[in-house]
Amino acid sequence: MRSAFLMVGLAACSSSAPSSSLSPPPPPSIAQFVPATTTSVAAWRPTDIPVLSFLDSANPEMFECWRALEEKLVVGYQVFSRPGASFTILEGDLPRSDVENCVGEALLYNQLSTGEVHRDGDLTVVETKLGTVYAAWRGRYVVVGSRNDVTTALAATALPVWTEASAELPGKDGFARTAGVAIGTDLMFAGLLGVATTRWKIVIELPSRGWPAKKMIKSGADALERFGEEQARIAERKKQGLPPEEPAAAPTPPPRDPVFGGSVEIRYATAADATRAGQALAQGKFAFELEQNLAAALSRLPQSITGSTLIIHFDQAKFAGVELEKLQAWMARMQAATAR
């Protein structure tokens, strides 16, 4: 957001100043990597980037170089297009050689890759058990995804709709309480309330939790040494007739206060459409049948209308009694309705 405002400010100043062929180019924006086929863009606090959260949970140990790279991240972006495809953009001080050297070793240790990392022209290629991943560097941005996604992103031009959207996404100083923000132009919420939309925005509020604590490993040799020590410890416990691992500590009880909250802003063509959608929500008149508890929870969410935008506020407490599986089924049905 700050970089976008800076671009506007520079443009305003330049209109009254003498032109110069030596003027510096405007600051980069992720809009330059967003293809025309995009349906939504999300910005995540580094500690809440979905793919990193998955990788961080894979093992209680972590390479020091991996954590060092994580700590250099500023923002993680996801760019979505139909039918459910997406790629990632990482922003931060992420030198290509450092990333290549660390990723191969770390993924091999976590048994997610053969450790093979090579270059194919402008692209870095990582072979993983989940498929081949490609990456390209453009200044402070690293575009990560399939070959087609990465090459398409590099060939994209900044469209006004995504330039506007990227200006609303939080920068490095915007994540104190915000875990993620997503902005989309698809009809996901039209499929729920039966009123055509022009744009939507979801903000997820969640206190920062920091990076998860890990046992740090310096290198592959260090990992092998620790593995040997662990096997010796297990063997000694077996001799003593003890189970391989110490009994797990009692789980920490979940907090009583709401864990997450946020808002949904749905933009319509007219204020009348926004009012009609708000009434449908409050009355539980959804475009398709919902599980009873979920329908009741949605209809009770606080809402307001500003111009042609319906704003809905939520937190975890508002969904008491809603089963996770049914909430996931609802999201899947919304996505299916959008894809039609």
Question: What pLDDT shows up at residue 328?
Answer: 61
CA 279 to mean position of chain CA atoms: 31
Per-residue pLDDT band for 167 (boundaries 50, 70, 90) equals: very high
**Tokens describing residue 277:** 């959608």
Largest CA distance in the chain: 84
Question: What pLDDT shows up at residue 252?
Answer: 63
Question: What pLDDT shows up at residue 132?
Answer: 93
Question: What pLDDT shows up at residue 334?
Answer: 65
Residue 76 parent element (H or E): strand 73-81
pLDDT for 335 beyond 70: no
Question: What pLDDT shows up at residue 17?
Answer: 33
In percent, how much of the chain has pLDDT > 70?
79
> For the whole model, what pTM was predicted?
0.79
DSSP 282-332: HTT--SS---HHHHHHHHTS-EEEETTEEEEEEEGGGGTT--HHHHHHHHH
pLDDT for 195 beyond 70: yes
**Mean pLDDT, all residues of the chain:** 82
**Amino acid at position 271, single letter:** A
Predicted confidence (pLDDT) per residue in 85-128, tens digit? 899 999 999 999 999 999 888 888 777 777 789 999 999 999 88
- Asked if 99 contacts 126 with a C-beta cutoff of 8 angstroms, the reply is no
Question: What pLDDT shows up at residue 215?
Answer: 87
Query: Which residues are registered as beta bridge partners of 195?
Result: none
Over residues 164-171, the mean pLDDT reads 92
In the chain the first and final C-alpha atoms are separated, in Å, by 33
Predicted confidence (pLDDT) per residue in 63-82, tens digit? 899 999 999 999 999 999 87
**Tokens describing residue 119:** 């270059």
Question: What pLDDT shows up at residue 288?
Answer: 78
Burial class (CB within 10 angstroms; exposed 0-12, middle 13-18, buried 19+) of 178: buried
Predicted confidence (pLDDT) per residue in 275-323, tens digit? 999 999 999 998 877 778 888 889 999 999 999 999 999 988 887 766 6
**Amino acid at position 137, single letter:** W
Q: Which of 37, 43, 104 is nearest to 69 (CA)?
A: 104
